[in-house]
Every structure is written in C-alpha cells, then in structure tokens.
Structure 1
C-alpha cells in the first residue's frame, strides 16, 4: 500500500499541470521533424551525428563537441585495431591540464576564446594542423547575415565543422547557462539549424530558428556561473585542409 501513494500523485492532474515540457517552443526534436534530412544530402548530419556522444561530465561539453568534430572529419578508421577517439583520450592526447580541469566534474567550463584555442590545440595533437580555425562571435543581430553565410558554407560539405557556443536555455526553455554542441545541419529555406546535442542526459538533436540562435549566442552569461559571467558565444569553424 505504501507504493500506491506516489503512483497516485504522479498521475494526478496537479502533477501534470506542474510539469514543464521537455523542450520550449524554440526547439523541435529531430524525432518530430526529420523530413529535411531525408530529402536533402545533409552531408554534415550524416558525417558527424554518428560520432556525437554524451559529454562525460556535466562540465565536458567542450571536449565532447571537439571530439565529435574531429571524429567526423576523420571518419571511421579502416582497421579492426583502430579505436574511435574518446573524450578522455583526446584530453590525454592534447595534454592540457587547464582543459582537463575545466572539463572535470564540477569544473567551470570554458570561455568562447578557450573553445577556439583548445580546438586548435586538439587539431594539432590529432595530426590535423593543416586546418584553420575561424571564429565568429556576433555582438548583436546585425551579424545575422555573417552567421547565415558561415552556416551555408558549412552545410555545403562535410569537410568542415562548426562548434556552437550558446546559452542553452534560450533554445530549450530550461537551464540558463553557457553550453557547447555541434551544428549538424542548416536548412537555409526554413532558416533553421540542427544542434547535435552532447547534453544527452536531457536532450536529443533539435532544430531551432537562426534568429533564436542569434539570441542564444549573444545573451551574456549570468553571475551565477562565476568566472564565465558576462561571456557570450558564437561559432568556431574548423575549415577544410589548407592547400
């Protein structure tokens, strides 16, 4: 009988009213909207989605995203003894104690500039130093056409990748704080992007409109996030090989 009360409470109308939806109106999960991915080549989605894994700590979104990007750019290695790069292996390979500390459980997380710097460090450590890292950090909506141009360039080929630094709550309607994930597609006609979430304890990939993305990238981080207070986001693009 003691087990019955929680079950009744969970099913009560009051409990249903108090429950928030998983995603707010600015995020549409891929399970509800995937026709575009089936009707177009979508090179980024098919190259990178298989390699996007859950961040291994609650502070490891940067290393999770960089690892997915490098694995997607490299592709599945050909031999049975070849391992798929893990987040922990890439941290060890780069050998940067600051990145490791920021990504550990309870770590502060990285700034936008650190994301760009650590991405370049990881590329060099993984033998991909011939790729150029380009950053775009919009300060207001005036940069929206620059953002669209970078998204379109990225969508044209799977030989580049875009890492997104953004306020996750602006998109999902829940947690208000800085986060990093990988851009998986850009539907230019609908003016929306697919975010390949590494925060997989809570989310799966979702679409959001580019104007919402702009708001998420330009919203300053609140004081509750300590050393990240005032931080804004943007796009970090790993370009195709030089030459």
Structure 2
C-alpha cells in the first residue's frame, strides 16, 4: 500500500514539472509542490486524504474568471456528486467547467456574469448548494486562524469532505487579485497548507503557511457587502 501511495504521488508530481518551468516566479515563503521541499512536505503531511480524489480530477481553469467553476468541477467529481448525463461515456460523464452550470446555479449567479467578474465566496457556496451538497461558508473575518486551521486539518484528513479557499493572491506575494482553489493537504510540523491552484498556467500547486493563508482570506471580498473572503467546507 505504501509503495502504491508513493507511485501515485510521484505520478502527479511528475505531471506538473513541465508546467512549473513556465509559471510565474514564486514569492519567498511559498513552496512549489513539484520541488524537492514540496515533495517532502507532502510525504510528511499529517492530513492529506482529500488530495487523492482531488488530484484524480485536477483541472486547469478555462479563463481568468473561472477559478470558481474549475474548483467546483474538481470537488463535484471528487465527492461523487450525481454525474451529468453523457451519451459519449455511457451516461457516466464527469463535471467540467461547462456542465457545472445548471438552471439552479444560474439562479445563484448567471454563468455569463461569472465569465465577466468571477464570483464571491457566498456565490461559490450557493452554487455548490445548488448541486444538493452540504455546504458551510465561513468568512475569515467571522472566525479565527485557530478555527480555520482546526477545521481545515480535520476536513482534509477525513476524506469525506473537501475545503475550498477564497483568498487574495497579492497577500501571499503572488499576482494579483482574488482567487479560488481547493486545499489538498496540511503539514502540521511546518503549519503549511497545500493549495491545489487551478491556474496551472500561472502558478503550480503550492504550500503556504497557515497564518499567511488566513490573512489572505481575511481581506475584503469584491461586491460582497463588505464581507471578507474565506473558505467553504463541502460534503454530501
């Protein structure tokens, strides 16, 4: 079993290497997943169960405004939500950045509007709820670093729920605005979370300190009545 685990992780890491060579430079304090240090963090991480299902369904967002839909597709597939019909695959289709949109999600926010301006944390949570999932939306300004660390670590370890963060890139030294991506693992020894960044053409998945990530979430969310960004915990 241990050998299978290492092979699985190594396969995903190898698949990222060519992309990393073309991405933007990483700021100090942020560790690329496909680096020796990033690999060591993953292999020693205490909470990493969510990573396996998410990595099997990893996608890159189709355009600069679609980090939310890309993250939704990953989570819906990883969690085993009822799949969309597909004549091409014997009715066993997977979610993508087109069929995540349904009449119920359009009532939360039309896909045409997301294409122009992305989505807020509350809108992201509302669209997941529209897929009949159990969703907890937590604004960073209404919680604390300790609460976030505890909830995130427990979620990543149980394998049944998933956590997606909405944070301000420039707060961790990246370029530039708000972003949404799932978390894949937590390393307690270094207090770092693995962000499975869906903008693989821009940045690879990275390890970020818990405090830095919380501060990046504790920033004003665009067009959200003064509320902060934060995170979403989603389950069946």
Q: TM-score, normalised by structure 1?
A: 0.75
- Aligned counterparts of 2:225 and 2:58: Cα–Cα separation in 1: 28
- Runs of 5+ unmatched residues, structure 1: 1-19
Across the aligned residues of Structure 1 and Structure 2, the Cα RMSD in angstroms comes to 2.7
- Aligned counterparts of 2:225 and 2:117: Cα–Cα separation in 1: 11
Q: 1:99 Cα shift?
A: 3.5
After the TM superposition, which residues 25-174 of structure 1 pair with which residues of structure 2 at under 5 Å, given as runs?
A: 25-32=28-35, 33-39=38-44, 42-74=48-80, 81=90, 82-92=92-102, 94=104, 96=106, 98-104=109-115, 107-121=116-130, 123-124=131-132, 129=133, 132-139=134-141, 143-171=144-172, 173-174=173-174
Instruction: Describe the superposition over 1:109-135 as per-residue Cα deviations: whole angstroms up to 9, x where unpaired.
Output: 1112111111111x22xxxx4xx2112
Change (3 A) 1:67 1:46: same
Counterpart secondary structure, 2:184: strand
Paired position in structure 1 for 2:203? 203
- Aligned counterparts of 2:190 and 2:75: Cα–Cα separation in 1: 25
Are the aligned partners of 1:137 and 1:235 in contact in 2 as well (CA < 8 Å)?
yes
Are the aligned partners of 1:166 and 1:232 in contact in 2 as well (CA < 8 Å)?
no
Change (3 A) 1:214 1:236: same
Mark the structure with the bigger radius of gyration: 1
Are the aligned partners of 1:28 and 1:208 in contact in 2 as well (CA < 8 Å)?
yes
- Aligned counterparts of 1:159 and 1:74: Cα–Cα separation in 2: 10
Are the aligned partners of 1:62 and 1:110 in contact in 2 as well (CA < 8 Å)?
yes
Q: 1:24 Cα shift?
A: 0.3
Q: Kindly indicate whether residue 233 of structure 2 is the aligned counterpart of residue 233 of structure 1.
A: no
Instruction: Describe the superposition over 1:187-233 as per-residue Cα deviations: whole angstroms up to 9, x where unpaired.
Output: 12221100001112201100000010011001235xxx7x4695521
Are the aligned partners of 2:71 and 2:164 in contact in 1 as well (CA < 8 Å)?
yes
Change (3 A) 1:201 1:26: same
Say how many residue pairs are matched: 205
Q: TM-score, normalised by structure 2?
A: 0.77
Q: 1:179 Cα shift?
A: 0.9
